[in-house]
Amino acid sequence: MSKADAVDTAAEETRQQIIDLLQGFTIETTPGSAAKIPDYREHLRPGARVAVTFLPGSDFADTVATARRLRQEGFEPMPHFAARSIPSRDALEGYLQALKDSVDIKHVVALAGAVDSPLGPFESSMDILETGLFDKYGIETIGIAGHPEGSPDISPSGLQEALTWKNTFAERSDASLYIATQFCFEAAPIIAWDKAIRAAGNHLPIHIGVPGLATIKTLINHAKACGVGPSMRFLTRQARNVAKLMTVNAPDKLLLDLARYKALDPDCGIARVHMYPLGGLRRSAAWSYAVADGHFDLKPKEKGFNVTLHIE
């Protein structure tokens, strides 16, 4: 094999690794943004799994309505259950019953929620998992929070204790658990975290959070609000050039690095990608499908890739 042929083969392997990583990606929406989307079928493919976020102070009826609409339009909704925003066990069961009746819900995400003082008896996602209500209502998959760059609210030892508990809980639940992470901007912290929790006994698959297409300014604002840690340096380096603040950033380098890691490390815990459409669902979904379909060219020197379709 010539040197040129070897380069072409390596490039094609890298392309396929990226394509494989993007297969079956999930994405999320909010009830507020749903009101601005006439038809999700214009942006998402049939059967796509769509997380429905729950913001502090929201009405869960809006979550149910958004999940119902997603189901009617041909998608698999994954509503968030924010433990600290649930006023009682009866309320939690009422939410599940409403979703079962109107959506026949199978997939959920269980989180603590960004509320300083719990509205009811639940302090953490572990508290709502322990009720057994998700099993009672036939939930098949449950996403639980993962923090590749740590949490401003929980110590590293606390995070590890919680993850150990959730691994143990997964063994006695009828549902399959997976880790759904906050978004990051660089692969190194994610890879180090995956190796660390694996060494500590994690067996749950990871759905890694990836920021969708958005301007540098928008990404920085979301990162600050969500407590994103070390990988935010990726953005702040670019933000030193004020002219770049309104430049749309794509997560191509992040995905290339994660795809290679997943392909080369047989023990890698990353199972799939979850897209955070911070700059809008339409653009992030179109870009993600383009990558999953192979419509991209690799950049020189492993610096990422460029999508070859026009994304408006």
Report the distance separating Cα 99 and Cα 128, nearest Å: 16
Residue count (the chain): 312
Distance set, CA 82 to CA 53, 113, 142 (Å): 9, 5, 13
- DSSP codes joined into one string, 179-223: EEEEE-S-HHHHHHHHHHHHHTT--S-EEEEEE-SEEHHHHHHHH
pTM for the predicted model, two decimal places: 0.90
- Condensed to tens digits (0 to 9), the pLDDT of residues 109-154 reads 999 998 889 999 999 999 999 999 999 999 999 999 999 988 777 8
Tell me the DSSP string of 73-88. TT-EEEEEEEGGG---
pLDDT tens digits for range 44-78: 999 999 999 998 889 999 999 999 999 999 999 99
Which tops the pLDDT comparison, 106 or 8? 106
Nearest to 212 by CA among 271, 147, 306, 283: 283
Tell me which residue of 126, 207, 195 sits closest to 159, measured CA to CA.
126
Asked whether the CA dihedral 249, 250, 256, 261 is positive or negative, the reply is positive
Check pLDDT > 90 for residue 210: yes
Q: What's residue 114's pLDDT?
A: 81
